[in-house]
Chains A and B, each alone.
Chain A
Amino acid sequence: MMASSYNAKEEDGHHSGSSTHGGTGAPKNKKPDNTAFKQQRLPAWQPILTAGTVLPAFFIIGLMFIPIGIGLYVTSNNIKEYEVDYTGVEPNSPCYDCANSFTWNSTTPCVCTVNFTLTQPFESNVYMYYGLSNFYQNHRRYVKSRDDSQLNGVQSSLISPSKECEPYRTNPETKQPIAPCGAIANSLFNDTLELYYSQPDGNTSKVTLVKKGIAWYTDKHVKFRNPGNDKDNLTERFKGTAKPVNWMKPVYELDPSDPENNGFINEDFIVWMRTAALPTFRKLYRIIQKKPDSTPTLASGKYFLKITYNYPVRSFDGRKRMILSTISWMGGKNPFLGIAYITVGSICFFLGVVLLIIHHKYDTRSNSADIPN
């Protein structure tokens, strides 16, 4: 008899609300509680989207977005940006020879120089980027080909890197583990860019490029750590590992001049390791600090870019660029956001006007209908 109150239902999830109300129990009070929740009468705000209620929202959005958009657009237009493509595709381009004569195991670096002129002076801090096109940093095989725990300095991962790093996990000849392992690290951008200013008096001066402060603070200080004990020599700490196949020098020689920027915590390396979202991307390369005096950071005039051409992109129709840019409160040059704001704002404003007309017509219609009543 008891068992009858738990009807064995055949189907899963076939809930039986009645099972708890089986007829076997003592005649308990079955009257439901008269609570607001159970009677579905909780106090509630009951908005409805009518032309009337939405109108103000549309106007407010319109009136807010259009100025924001204009502000963004103007700001974006004020940002100065200069781009130099130094891939060397065209035969007359300065880097054509370097691009064509590229071999993996050449020992002598190929250097080429690109001249350009800045028509406007660049004020404030200037940021120097390198840009690559048609480079699929977001390819799945590429994105996952890294070992974050190795980069975090975990000793065991240094010795035996993650399987994800294949085929850049161990050196094919020596069988030593590669540090840093994986396709991303292996393809580290290794062109060296140097900027020279041809002063009007004919002298050339090298523009000081600051290479620190280009990576995320958290990446540099938490996510990326060199393995081993801080007191030891960096070379010692990477002992037993091999350099990535395509690298010219091992990881502990990335920046021998500054131990705080060497090994895994080299900022160029960290920037490269943050894989780009799209096949055409640019990455921060250097910062040109603004001068303490009021002279512009980069005065208008002739410049030349000296490139140590190490990085092959011709094979996959890639492009290499160098970009100089100032920034504003809204980041880099980005006309899209401003235009989008203006567009959406205008649409909202326009719709607001249309709604106002509809609402007005509708309102009078219903008024006239109500009067005879």
Chain B
Amino acid sequence: MGMDFSTLRTLISRYCAGEENCVDTRTVYIGHKEPPPGAEAFIQQRFPDNRIVSSKYTFWNFIPKNMFEQFRRVANFYFLIIFLVQLIIDTPTSPVTSGLPLFFVIIVTAIKQGYEDWLRHKADKAVNQCLVQVVQHGKVSRKHSRKLTVGDVVYVKEDESFPCDLILLSSSRDDGTCYVTTASLDGESSHKTYHAIQDTKAYKTEEEVNYIHATIDCEQPQPDLYKFRGNINIYMGNEPVSRSLASQNLLLRGATLKNTEYIYGVAIYTGMETKMALNYQSKSQKRSAVEKSMNAFLVVYLCILISKAVINTALKYVWQADPNRDEPWYNGKTESERQRHVLIRAFTDFLAFMVLFNYIIPVSMYVTVEMQKFLGSYFIMWDDEMFDEELGERAVVNTSDLNEELGQVEYVFTDKTGTLTENNMEFIECCVDGNVYVPHIICNGQVMPGAAGIDMIDTSPGPEAREREELFFRALCLCHTVQVKEEETVDGIKHGIHQGKSSSFYISSSPDEVALVEGMKRLGFTYLRLKDGQMEILNREDEIERFELLEVLTFDSVRRRMSVIVRSSTGELYLFCKGADSSIFPRVVSGKMEQIKARVERNAVEGLRTLCVAYRRLSPEQYEQVCHLLTRAKLEFQDQDKLVAEAYDLIERDLILLGATAVEDRLQEKAADTIESLHKAGMKVWVLTGDKMETAAATCYASKLFRRSTQILELTTKRTEEQSLHDVLFELSRTVLRHYGSMPRDASSGLSSEYIDYGLIIDGATLSAVMRPSQEDSNSGNYKEIFLEICRNCSAVLCCRMAPLQKAQIVKMIKSSKEHPITLAIGDGANDVSMILEAHVGIGIMGKEGRQAVRNSDYAIPKFKHLKKMLLVHGHYYYIRISELVQYFFYKNVCFIFPQFLYQFFCGFSQQPLYDTAYLTLYNISFTSLPILLYSLMEQHINMDILKKEPTLYRDIAKNSLLTWPIFIYWTVLGVYDAIVMFFGAYFLFDNTTFTSNGQLMTTNTQMMFGNWTFGTLVFTVLVFTVTFKLALDTHYWTWINHFVIWGSLVFFVVFSLLWGGIIWPFLNYQRMYYVFMQMLSSGPAWLSIILLITASLLPDVVKKVFWRALWPTTTERIQAKRRRLASEPSTIFMLSQTSSRISF
């Protein structure tokens, strides 16, 4: 409610407060001090207070709002309508039968949501009540957090978290910086530096802070955590000063102050407008293929339901044409019934039939499916094998809706760095002007040119070269965003600086940088710290060199480089730039490019990550120009990003190449094994990386994505430069198709030795050319198709030089190709988020590049190797389980309702229900619900270990194979067959010849007649036993829990029936079930017919299963038969194909 109000208020303030510019910006008066009258007239806006409302409901609106939300779901709405129809018209079953299950569901959901909301309320209250310190009239006073308003100056001490989004005014540190960890926001535990406004950083006490007189213009709140722009107007001098503000000035609510004694900041976004609150929104919901099939089946059943009702209504009126049938003397209608118009009567009859048969779409199916998914997902979290000791993390399930989708994956898109590889960087070598330096052969600070330096040309560096070399080292020591942490207990990346007084660590969000800075240390140049805007370096002569840090042109994945501008102690200005070779080389004007390029390529082939370093000396005038460019860009609100990028582009040019570095990123443990298993399981693995082709290809070979036998097809800029894209594509597709054309189509499913697999390498530029929407050339539209055709025939594809958005584009392209394959994207970094969100299943790796991927994923695992168990075991199980669950649910409701349909033909289409109300109500809720739920949680058709050992088993369930239409029809036909057996079995026992109890068991009675309720009870008893036994026959994994629920629910049914018929229930207005069940059981023929009918119902299914298994066994079934032998010895599919079921009795 508070949330509603605040959003409403925001809306009002946005649209009513001012017509023009206030939509985009807001003005904040620091300390609520009005700007001097001469200043621009700002329109004072109203801002929400700092109350956080994460709860959805209040005490008053809980019931209406929760009900509304629950009935917004189609299924619930459908059942509500059925219920209302039952209330309004005269229907065969009492409203209780559909009302009770529905309200049970609704109430359970409401209680669950209410409880969750109560927890949220509690949490909100705790947060809103906590005290914060605010500067008022030069004094620090305490306030409840929720009373904080925009413009308040807040005082935050170390290790406290920020109560709202603040602009940093000043900190205890002299340079006006502070360190912050955003662990609870995005999971990145590294310390980030934030900067105070230059003009206010000197105001360090509450009295001083009180003097600050300024206003802040900034954009309206937006959820992007890393974007902020605004500017501050300071009115303290003679002239108002305007400074730009960026995200480095903005302290976000939820982040914690570290390593800094205290800060002062001004609140600019409060309450629900903080970036944290704006990030509450959940991602768009993904739906699994199983759910889609389920919905398709539901539509079929809805059609069956409607057609049943229509048929029966039509037949009813045909049958009733004779008035003596419509209203025989013994069965008169009431006056009002007679007077009702025939159309109304027909419509009412139709609705009544709908109500009678509505159980065919059971409310409990939704509940069971949801419970199964929710509870089932715990098995992923509980899995010991997916726990990583090193990280202390276990698998996380962010959504349980996609469990079964894990068993359907056809395409795996994986990131390389941090996913396939460890992202644990180690500095290997650097190359300066062709001289190669390897750190581990450095003795006593003496640099020795690397012995491995084959490409080395100039072995005796002259003075000029030496200067270059030192410049290179300094460049690497200066051009980074690494921080020095002087504590021992840091979670995150720990790297000790062994020399020096206290042990300290380098911390950075990028492991490459840490590796480089550490490598430099080993080469003699130690980065000490950043103090007062001065970077301190300990050089080889143990002298401290100081450089003033003027500008940082931060790294982004589009530019793929970063730069710093520093002023040396001698006053010289340098721009140091480091980045990917592709982004540096075009900007280089001089330097030994050839040698360095050769070295970079050589390193890339070895799978090392390379960076190039370049510099540019700036004259003071040039620097002025740079400053001007940057300030202008940063002052702009609109298109700031674009302008900044343009400015960077102008600044980072005319560079002089210094050298290159190589950092190794080791493959993750068992990455190769995992990829191999995925391949065997029939999945196509694509590696999407931003790395360069050679590095990526090396990793791919190492991880067995490409094998030596793999024929590599290249689709890169290099090739398209030689030939046109058109030709290359057609040539490749010809190569691939020729091969496949000569082979039988199904060869890919087996493992024939003839099988040649293809690997494709494509780079970002070519890809965008392929994907480019149709140009004037009509052929280009086909490129995508041809490309897809090639990809389809390649077992592995490597896409290198990919921008994050391109990753998502690829996933989307595959997703929407004509087979609509199920895709899975796995990655660890922010650059993978787009593809994780795009793919059917997104998996985050708890890597070192922060937690963004994890936050946006559907599932998160600690390591890449866990993907194997996730897909091959959990995915497989979930799929098997849910498909049985869905099919079984439809089956058991066909069995349930079809006899009622048949009964209509024998009761004059009068909608007389066959079963008693209690049976109608409880059939799905209690008699048959638990066995299938537990089945769908516990079933293991094959042992876990075998699933892991034999990835090919995954192919057995590919393409939603257990929920195809033939199988669905089989289950439905089976249900109809069972229903016919049950109904006509009972019919022939009752028909004509009397079905009587012999009375031998109950001595006082002699000979009784059974009525219609006994008939229904007999059918129902057979039904409950049949469907439960059917499930028992399908269960391959009988734990004590399965035994308990299967036999338990049968016992419950019997006990319930005895009780239900054993007492005259005072609250019921009918006693039709009184002693019916007991009487039935006291009759010998009833027992005999129950046994007979159950046997006859189950017979065809058993026979089908046994015959299929014996004559056309699937791989799964073969393995099941050989289960015990397999568990003890390793086996291959080749052996399995020859072995067979040989279990004798």
Contact = CB atoms under 8 A, between A and B. Distances in A.
Interface of A: 1-18, 21, 23-24, 27, 29-34, 38-56, 61, 65, 68, 72, 125, 127, 129, 135-149, 152, 162, 164, 166-168, 183, 186-187, 213-219, 222-223, 246, 271, 274-284, 287, 312, 315-317, 325, 327-337, 340-341, 344, 347-348, 351, 355, 358-359, 362-363, 365-367, 369-370, 373
Given A138-B907, A138-B912, 12 more contacts: A4-B280, A14-B285, A42-B1040, A46-B1037, A53-B1143, A140-B910, A152-B1064, A216-B1079, A287-B1007, A328-B998, A331-B994, A348-B1099
A337 to B, nearest CB: 6
Contacts of A46: 940, 1036-1038, 1123
A337 B383 contact: no
Interface string B511-554: 00000000000000000000000000000000000000000000
Given A4-B254, A27-B392, A52-B1144, A327 B333 contact: no
Interface in B1085-1106: 1085, 1088-1089, 1092, 1095-1096, 1099, 1102-1103, 1105-1106
B737 interface: no
A23 B1103 contact: no
A16 B398 contact: yes
Contacts of B392: 27, 29-31
A340 B384 contact: no
A332 B851 CA distance: 76
B1006 interface: yes
Contacts of B399: 14-16
Nearest to A143: B912
Contact of B910 (A38, A139, A277): A139
B1007 A216 contact: no
Given A30-B393, A46-B1037, A287-B1006, A141 B1085 contact: no
For A125, A137, A142, A215, the residue with the greatest tally of chain B CB atoms inside 10 Å of its CB is A142
Contacts of B119: 6
A333 B993 CA distance: 6
Nearest to B1011: A274
B1040 A277 contact: no
Interface stretch (B321-329, B406-414, B418-426, B726-734): B321-329
B1079 to A, nearest CB: 6
Contacts of B161: 1
B1023 to A, nearest CB: 16
A129 B1038 CA distance: 50
Given A13-B109, A140-B910, A334 B54 contact: no
Contacts of A144: 1070
Give 9 closest A-B pairs by Cβ, nearest first: A187-B330, A277-B1015, A366-B1140, A17-B397, A38-B382, A140-B910, A274-B1011, A277-B1012, A140-B912
A330 B998 contact: yes
Nearest to A315: B324
Nearest to A169: B334
A298 B388 CA distance: 88
Contacts of A223: 1064, 1071, 1074-1075
B187 to A, nearest CB: 6
Contacts of B55: 8
28 contacts: A4-B185, A14-B285, A15-B370, A23-B184, A30-B394, A31-B394, A32-B384, A38-B378, A42-B1039, A49-B1033, A52-B1143, A68-B1088, A125-B1007, A129-B994, A136-B331, A139-B912, A141-B331, A142-B331, A143-B1012, A246-B329, A277-B1016, A284-B1007, A315-B324, A328-B998, A337-B1085, A355-B1106, A366-B1138, A366-B1139
Interface residues of B, number: 150
A8 B1039 contact: no
A337 B1088 contact: yes
Given A330-B1084, A340-B985, A136 B381 contact: no
Given A12-B109, A327-B996, A332-B993, A141 B333 contact: yes
A122 B119 CA distance: 78
Contact of A135 (B330, B1069, B1117, B1141): B330
Q: Name the residue among B253, B491, B1083, B1142 with the largest chain A CB count within 10 angstroms.
A: B1142
B704 interface: no
B396 interface: yes
B370 A51 contact: no
Contacts of B987: 278
A17 B400 contact: yes
A315 B1012 contact: no
A139 B328 CA distance: 11
A88 B996 CA distance: 28
Contacts of A222: 1064, 1074
B94 to A, nearest CB: 10
A14 to B, nearest CB: 7
Contacts of B378: 17, 38
A330 B126 CA distance: 73
B975 to A, nearest CB: 19
Interface in B971-1008: 985, 987-998, 1000, 1002, 1004-1008
A276 B1009 CA distance: 8
B334 A167 contact: yes
A8 B1095 CA distance: 51
A39 B1111 CA distance: 35
A216 B1083 CA distance: 13
Contact of A344 (B1069, B1092, B1102, B1109): B1092
Contacts of A129: 994
Nearest to B1004: A217
A369 B1143 contact: no
Nearest to A338: B1088
Interface in B321-350: 324-325, 328-335
B1100 to A, nearest CB: 10
Nearest to B356: A140
B397 A18 contact: yes
B1041 interface: yes
B998 A329 contact: yes
Given A17-B377, A167-B335, A331-B1084, A362 B92 contact: no
A159 to B, nearest CB: 16
Contact of B989 (A15, A29, A336): A336
A2 B123 contact: yes
Interface in B228-268: 253-254
B908 A168 contact: no
Nearest to B1096: A344
A287 B1141 CA distance: 60
Contacts of B1070: 144, 146, 148
A39 B384 CA distance: 7
B1014 interface: yes
B469 interface: no
Given A38-B379, A331-B994, A149 B1069 contact: yes
A19 B731 CA distance: 52
Contacts of A344: 1092, 1095-1096, 1099
Given A3-B120, A139-B331, A337-B1089, A370 B1139 contact: yes
B1145 A52 contact: yes
B772 interface: no
B69 interface: yes
A143 B646 CA distance: 85
B1047 interface: no
B401 interface: yes
A331 B996 contact: yes
A10 B1103 CA distance: 47
Nearest to A166: B334
Nearest to B860: A18
Contacts of B92: 140
B1011 A277 contact: yes
Nearest to B903: A138
Contacts of B1007: 125, 127, 213-214, 284, 287, 327
Nearest to B937: A40
B1121 interface: yes
Given A284-B1009, A330-B1088, A362 B1140 contact: yes
